[in-house]
């Protein structure tokens, strides 16, 4: 899957967006052995130390999930907040486990820690090319492979509503609708919701937990004041 | 997916959250309705919307009353206030829509998980893309447009004509009736999915040729194409071969997925590993 790769935006717009994820090689031909789930649990426990914006288990969801009210009074109840413990406790099968960071220092420190831990899992950084390169350099790791995103062929830098595309492509599986991102942009502009509330509403649709609420809040603040 | 008309109060929240824009409030029925031809069975409405259990009749009465005073009933925008969405039983060929659109569902149709494969994400273990090779991921349908299998066939036929071989574990490849021609099963050609990925691997010398083929096909299909180019770095961690080709073609890649090379054939045995100190703020972080 390429669910983290094709986020829309210029390299500068990813200064607060680092996704570090791990996965085992599934095919038998790869010949990888060992307890991948245990290693991935450790990966996520380690990530939690470095103050991520989100943790996500592609199978079970992220740290911010939709709610299921059983009482009619749920309509007036408080909304859920990010819950890392639920992600850590819910991991039952090895797969793609992701940690999202909103600053360079924490992301690079986590990558360095992963090198020291030597878990044996494949680890990828999805961000701007330079962000990943710098993180590898800081950790003293030569990059192994790169998957370049060539971007959306017909979406230019001056496309109207490009912020809606920036927001919606933060769920690479497309679970976050562009129309809903546009609606949240309008809500923020009209002061009907705060950027934080709007970002959290959008994050609940990303079933892998890789939506970056910090970047979303920043984009929504820019939308509020009309930054193009 | 279906919407229970007994429960729906036509609040309109779901019309925004559908990635395909396939949900609308029918003015005659006064209920949210799904355009089944456009729906890709991604379950974003069912899984993504929070669920509440307000009594539908009461909500409708309140809505009508408030509307008389030009006051709007406004639930939280990511909530279905009456839990009106209900999963439908999907049969072939419609089931392929969900397999390619709902990321949490393994491919019942193909036996392969996800819309593509691990590409170069596990290249440090699999060695799938070597020096001098390029792994292409050609994704159709994003962002928020969707694509039909006839669009994928247009692309796969053009690539097959150029003599490329398709990644055999890729879900699209498993739906081909002939990988030498790129033909896809005829009974699914009109099925629409959120997005899916065609994966191929070619020698680096063919990079430009392949991109030009993609450019040619994308002019003929009613969806968006997004290309990923996977390459192996040299021993210093540099990649100086494919990037110049991409730049020559007018690309200025901004983002990438970087495999940092920590994968091993043997995953570390953590039996005697020191425990990780748990931060206090795991809940409400």
pLDDT at B281: 62
Arithmetic mean of pLDDT, A142-147: 97
> Which residues in chain A touch residue B267, judged by CB atoms under 8 angstroms apart?
24, 32-36, 39, 119-121
pLDDT at B70: 94
Q: What is the ipTM of this complex?
A: 0.95
B99 pLDDT higher than 50? yes
pLDDT over threshold 50, residue A38: yes
Mean pLDDT to the nearest integer, B209-235: 96
C-alpha A193 chain-centroid distance: 22
Kindly identify which residue of chain A lies nearest to residue B100, measuring between CA atoms: A173
The backbone torsions φ and ψ at residue A49, rounded to the nearest 5 degrees and listed phi first, read: -70, -25
A81, A144, A184: residue with CB nearest B124:
A144
Residue B57, pLDDT score: 97
What's the whole-number average pLDDT of chain B?
A: 92
Name B156's Cβ contacts closer than 8 Å, sequence gap at least 6: B166, B172, B176, B182, B183, B184, B198
Taking the CA of residue A104 and the nearest CA in chain B, the distance in Å comes to 16
* Dihedral sign from CA coordinates of A195, A2, B50, A101: negative
Average pLDDT of the residues in B108-129: 76
> Average pLDDT of B168-197?
95
Whether B273 contacts chain A with CB within 8 A: yes
A30 → closest Cβ in B114, B115, B126: B126
* For residue B115, pLDDT beyond 90: no
* pLDDT confidence bin for A1, thresholds 50/70/90: very low
Q: Per-residue confidence at B268, pLDDT binned at 50, 70, 90?
A: very high
Mind listing the pLDDT tens digit for each residue in A56-103?
Answer: 999 899 999 999 888 998 888 877 788 999 999 999 999 999 999 999
Alpha carbon distance A167, B24 (integer Å): 23
Two structure tokens written together for A170: 């933060």
Distance CA B39, CA B18 (A): 8
Residue B280 pLDDT > 80: no
User: What is the rounded average pLDDT of the residues B218-234?
Assistant: 95
Q: A199: which 2 tokens?
A: 């970002």
Rounded distance between C-alpha atoms, residue B67 and residue B134, angstroms: 59
- pLDDT value for A154: 67
B239–chain A Cβ distance below 8 A for any pair: yes
**List of chain A residues whose C-beta atoms are within 8 Å of the C-beta of residue B204:** none
Residue A6: strand pairing partners: none
Reduce the DSSP state of residue B108 to 3 states and report it: coil
pLDDT, residue A3, reads 76
DSSP A143-190: --EEEEEEEETT--TT-TTHHHHHHHTTSTTS-S-HHHHHHHHHHHHT
pLDDT exceeds cutoff 80 at B69: yes
Candidates A2, A165, A195: best to mutate against B (most CBs of B within 10 A) is A2
Q: Can you tell me the mean pLDDT for A187-197?
A: 95
Closest residue in B to A15 (Cα) is B255
- In Å, how far is A18's CA from the nearest CA of chain B? 10
Torsion of CA A79, B144, A179, A161, to 10 degrees: 120
Among B58, B258, B281, the residue to mutate for chain A (most A Cβ within 10 A): B258
How many residues are present in chain B? 285
Contact B200, B164 (CB under 8 A): yes
Average pLDDT over residues B65-74: 90
Beta partners for residue B257, in sequence order: A126, A147
**N-to-C CA span, chain A:** 31
């Amino acid at each position: 899957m390429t669910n983290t790769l094709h986020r829309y935006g210029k390299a500068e717009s990813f200064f607060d967006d680092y996704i570090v994820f791990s996965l085992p090689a599934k095919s038998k031909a790869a010949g990888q052995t060992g307890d991948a789930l245990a290693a991935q649990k450790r990966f996520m426990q380690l990530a939690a130390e470095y103050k991520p914006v989100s943790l996500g288990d592609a199978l079970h969801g992220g740290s911010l999930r939709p709610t299921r009210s059983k009482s009619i009074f749920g309509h007036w109840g408080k909304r859920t907040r990010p819950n890392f413990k639920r992600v850590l406790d819910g991991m039952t099968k090895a797969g793609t486990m992701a940690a999202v960071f909103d600053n360079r220092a924490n992301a690079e420190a986590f990558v360095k820690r992963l090198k020291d831990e030597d878990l044996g899992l494949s680890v990828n950084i999805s961000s701007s090319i330079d962000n990943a390169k710098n993180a590898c350099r800081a950790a003293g790791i030569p990059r192994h492979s790169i998957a370049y995103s060539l971007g959306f062929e017909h979406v230019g830098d001056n496309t109207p509503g490009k912020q809606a595309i920036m927001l919606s492509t933060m769920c690479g599986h497309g679970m976050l609708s562009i129309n809903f991102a546009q609606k949240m942009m309008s809500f923020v502009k009209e002061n009907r919701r705060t950027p934080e509330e709007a970002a959290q509403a959008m994050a609940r649709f990303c079933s892998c937990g890789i939506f970056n609420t910090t970047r979303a809040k920043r984009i929504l603040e820019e939308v509020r004041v009309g930054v193009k | 997916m279906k919407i229970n008309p007994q429960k729906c109060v036509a609040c309109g929240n779901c019309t925004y959250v559908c990635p395909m824009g396939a949900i609308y409030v029918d003015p005659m029925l006064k209920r949210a309705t799904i355009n089944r031809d456009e729906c890709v069975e991604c379950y974003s409405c069912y899984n993504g919307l929070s669920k509440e259990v307000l009594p539908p009749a009461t909500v409708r009465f309140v809505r009508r009353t408030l509307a008389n005073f030009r006051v709007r009933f406004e639930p939280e925008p990511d909530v279905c206030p009456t839990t009106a969405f209900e999963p439908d039983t999907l049969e072939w060929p419609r089931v392929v829509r969900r397999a390619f659109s709902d990321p949490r569902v393994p491919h019942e149709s193909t036996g392969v998980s996800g819309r593509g494969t691990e590409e170069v994400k596990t290249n440090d273990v699999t060695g799938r893309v070597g020096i001098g090779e390029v792994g292409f991921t050609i994704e159709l349908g994003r962002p928020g447009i969707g694509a039909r299998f006839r669009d994928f066939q247009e692309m796969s036929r053009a690539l097959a004509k150029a003599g490329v071989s398709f990644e055999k574990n890729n879900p699209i490849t498993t739906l081909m009736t002939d990988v030498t021609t790129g033909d896809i099963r005829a009974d699914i050609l009109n099925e629409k999915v959120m997005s899916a990925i065609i994966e191929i691997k070619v020698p680096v010398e063919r990079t430009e040729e392949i991109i030009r083929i993609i450019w040619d096909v994308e002019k003929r299909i009613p969806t968006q194409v997004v290309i990923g180019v996977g390459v192996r770095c040299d021993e210093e961690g540099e990649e100086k071969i494919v990037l110049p080709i991409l730049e020559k073609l007018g690309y200025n890649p901004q983002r990438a997925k970087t495999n940092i090379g920590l994968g091993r054939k043997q995953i570390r045995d953590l039996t005697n590993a020191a425990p990780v100190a748990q931060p206090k703020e795991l809940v409400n972080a």
